[in-house]
Amino acid sequence: MHRRRKLPPLTALTAFEAAARLASFTKAADELGVTQAAVSRQIHLLEQQFGFPLFIRLHRKIELTEKGMTLSAAAGDAFDLIAGSVAEILRDGHKDELTISATVAFSHFWLLPRISEFSRQHPQINLRIVTQDKTPNIESGELDVAIRFGSGMWADGQAELLFEEEVFPVCSPDYAKGAAQIMTPDNLTGHPLIANDVDDPTWIGWTEWLAAFSVKAPRKTLGFRCSFYTEAIYAALNGQGIALGWRLLVGDLLAQNRLVRVSEAAVKTRNAYFVILPKRTRHPKAAGLFLSWLKSKSDLPSMAN
């Protein structure tokens, strides 16, 4: 006979995992729908059972102890695995549903204009596209496929290279006609430069782009700053100035002559677009069909099955 696994109480472990992940008893209580005192009590029971502290209680925050960090990593992985398995089981009766995660810019400028082609090829697949710039954990069980820009080194999934990228300045044809000839990066600093706010360190802004050509960005530019990249591109489309065009994202707009390049200068990014799959061994058939379609749109070698 197999001995019963020696596991701590699931209620206490759930409270601990949430508090460790959120670094707050209060936030864990909000997520679990209980009181802060209840979360604190469950964690205290765990610590009594183990005989050592899991958290260091500071004045306004908590920090995991070394043993707490070990348990947090194990609990997080276990809960992600359970969530993924449950989602997979529930999907067994809905195998033709596919949930895709992508950033706002990628979804808006590349995926949505093309996704109807995939739907025509596979009309039996119901698509759900989750669009957000915050990177969701693909092992949560809520996603089948994610498309991300970065180094490809993510702990929560299997990454496969999809598209490489380069960045160059673009503007509307009308703005280009009214401006003096722009050929080199140092000419750009006298024009309105459209920028956007971003927290992603992999994203290239005007300061980084100009620095690649040994040009210092002016402290005050004639342009303005937007909240999102999509807004920056629409500002450029409306003749507001010059924005940085990411080849994959503005390719359609260039082909339609709604945007034009103002310089041959370009910066090839160190990062690229990757398609991400959960680490679970079984994936919906629809995910494989979507990956094959994505790869058919890429100029990179096809991915092995």
Q: Which residues of 132-161 are buried (b: 16+ CB within 10 A; e: fewer)?
A: eeebebbbebebbbbbbbbebebebbebbe
CB neighbours (10 Å) of residue 189?
15
- One digit per residue, the tens of pLDDT, for the chain of length 305 reads 445 567 788 888 999 999 999 999 999 999 889 999 999 999 999 999 999 999 999 888 899 999 999 999 888 888 877 776 666 666 554 557 899 999 999 999 999 999 999 999 999 999 999 998 887 777 777 788 999 999 988 888 889 999 999 999 999 999 998 776 777 898 898 889 999 887 777 889 999 999 999 998 877 766 788 889 999 999 999 999 999 999 999 999 999 999 999 989 999 999 999 999 887 656 778 888 999 999 898 864 433 33
- Summarize pLDDT for 152-171 with one digit per residue, the tens: 888 888 899 999 999 999 99
Indicate the pTM of the whole model. Answer: 0.67
Separation between Cα atoms, residue 97 and residue 91, nearest integer Å:
8
DSSP helix/strand/coil, 124: coil
Specify the residue for token string 């991300």: 148
User: Terminal CA-to-CA distance of the chain, rounded, Å?
Assistant: 41
All structural domains of the chain: 10-90 (1.10.10.10), 95-163+271-296 (3.40.190.10), 166-268 (3.40.190.10)
Separation between Cα atoms, residue 251 and residue 166, nearest integer Å:
11
Q: How far is CA 31 from CA 18, 142, 249, in A?
A: 8, 17, 36
- Summarize pLDDT for 48-80 with one digit per residue, the tens: 999 999 999 988 889 999 999 999 988 888 887
- State the pLDDT at residue 141: 73
